[in-house]
Structure 1
Amino acid sequence: MKKVFLSAVTALLLFSCQNDSTESADSNVSAIAQRGCATQEVLEAQLKADPTLAIRMNEIEAFTNKALLTGKLVNGKVQIPVVVNVLYRTTAENISNAQIQTQIDVLNKDFNALNSDFGSVPALFSGVKANVGISFVLDQVIRKSTTKTSWGTNDAMKKVAQGGLAPTSPTTKLNLWACKIGGGILGYAQFPGGASATDGVVIDTQYFGLSGSAAAPYNLGRTGTHEVGHWMNLRHIWGDATCGSDLVSDTPTHNTANYGVPAYPHYSTCSGTPVEMTMNYMDYTDDNAMYMFSNGQKSRMAAIFVTGGPRAAFGI
Structure 2
Amino acid sequence: MKKVLISAVTALLLFSCQNDQTAESKDSEATALTRRACASQQVLDEQLRADPTLAIRMNEIEAFTNKALISGKLVNGKVQIPVVVNVLYRTAAQNISDAQIQSQIDVLNKDFNALNSDYNSVPALFAGVKANVGISFVLDQIIRKSTTKTSWGTNDAMKKVAQGGLAPTSPTTKLNLWSCAIGGGILGYAQFPGGAAATDGVVIDSKYFGLSGAANAPFNLGRTGTHEVGHWMNLRHIWGDATCGSDLVADTPTHNEENYGVPAYPHYSTCSGTPVEMTMNYMDYVDDNAMYMFSTGQKNRMAAIFVTGGARAAFGI
- Once residues 289 and 66 of structure 2 are traced to their aligned partners in structure 1, the CA distance between those partners, rounded to angstroms, is 32
- What SS does the aligned partner of 1:124 have? helix
Look up the match of 1:126: 127
- Once residues 55 and 157 of structure 2 are traced to their aligned partners in structure 1, the CA distance between those partners, rounded to angstroms, is 22
Tell me the alpha carbon deviations over residues 199-224 of structure 1, each in whole angstroms, 9 at most, x when there is no partner.
00000000000000000000000000
Look up the match of 1:2: 2
- Once residues 144 and 26 of structure 1 are traced to their aligned partners in structure 2, the CA distance between those partners, rounded to angstroms, is 23
Aligned length: 313
- Once residues 310 and 42 of structure 1 are traced to their aligned partners in structure 2, the CA distance between those partners, rounded to angstroms, is 19
The two structures have a TM-score, normalised by structure 1, of: 0.96
How far did residue 95 of structure 1 move?
0.3
Query: Is 1:299 the counterpart of 2:303 in the alignment?
Result: no
- Once residues 189 and 242 of structure 1 are traced to their aligned partners in structure 2, the CA distance between those partners, rounded to angstroms, is 22
- What SS does the aligned partner of 2:69 have? helix
Partner letter of residue 21 of structure 2? S
How far did residue 25 of structure 1 move?
5.8
Look up the match of 2:265: 264
- What SS does the aligned partner of 1:135 have? strand
Conservation of the 8 A alpha-carbon contact between 1:31 and 1:185:
no
- Once residues 9 and 167 of structure 2 are traced to their aligned partners in structure 1, the CA distance between those partners, rounded to angstroms, is 31
How far did residue 74 of structure 1 move?
2.0
How far did residue 295 of structure 1 move?
0.1
- What SS does the aligned partner of 1:3 have? coil
- Once residues 127 and 11 of structure 1 are traced to their aligned partners in structure 2, the CA distance between those partners, rounded to angstroms, is 30
How far did residue 76 of structure 1 move?
1.2
Look up the match of 2:280: 279
- Once residues 196 and 18 of structure 1 are traced to their aligned partners in structure 2, the CA distance between those partners, rounded to angstroms, is 19
- Once residues 109 and 44 of structure 2 are traced to their aligned partners in structure 1, the CA distance between those partners, rounded to angstroms, is 26
Partner letter of residue 258 of structure 2? A
The two structures have a TM-score, normalised by structure 2, of: 0.96
Conservation of the 8 A alpha-carbon contact between 1:12 and 1:59:
no
How far did residue 32 of structure 1 move?
1.5
Aligned pairs (5 A) from 1:67-216: 67-216=68-217
Look up the match of 1:24: 21
Conservation of the 8 A alpha-carbon contact between 2:74 and 2:307:
yes
Partner letter of residue 4 of structure 2? V
The 3 A distance-change label for structure 1 pair 12 and 31 is farther
Look up the match of 1:50: 51
- Once residues 171 and 12 of structure 2 are traced to their aligned partners in structure 1, the CA distance between those partners, rounded to angstroms, is 24
Conservation of the 8 A alpha-carbon contact between 2:89 and 2:147:
yes
- Once residues 59 and 20 of structure 2 are traced to their aligned partners in structure 1, the CA distance between those partners, rounded to angstroms, is 21
- Which stretch has the larger CA shift, 248-257 or 17-26? 17-26
Look up the match of 2:27: none
- What SS does the aligned partner of 2:16 have? helix
- Once residues 177 and 308 of structure 2 are traced to their aligned partners in structure 1, the CA distance between those partners, rounded to angstroms, is 24
Conservation of the 8 A alpha-carbon contact between 1:12 and 1:62:
no
Runs of 4+ aligned structure 1 residues displaced above 6 Å come to none
Partner letter of residue 234 of structure 1? L
- Once residues 315 and 176 of structure 1 are traced to their aligned partners in structure 2, the CA distance between those partners, rounded to angstroms, is 19
Partner letter of residue 208 of structure 1? F
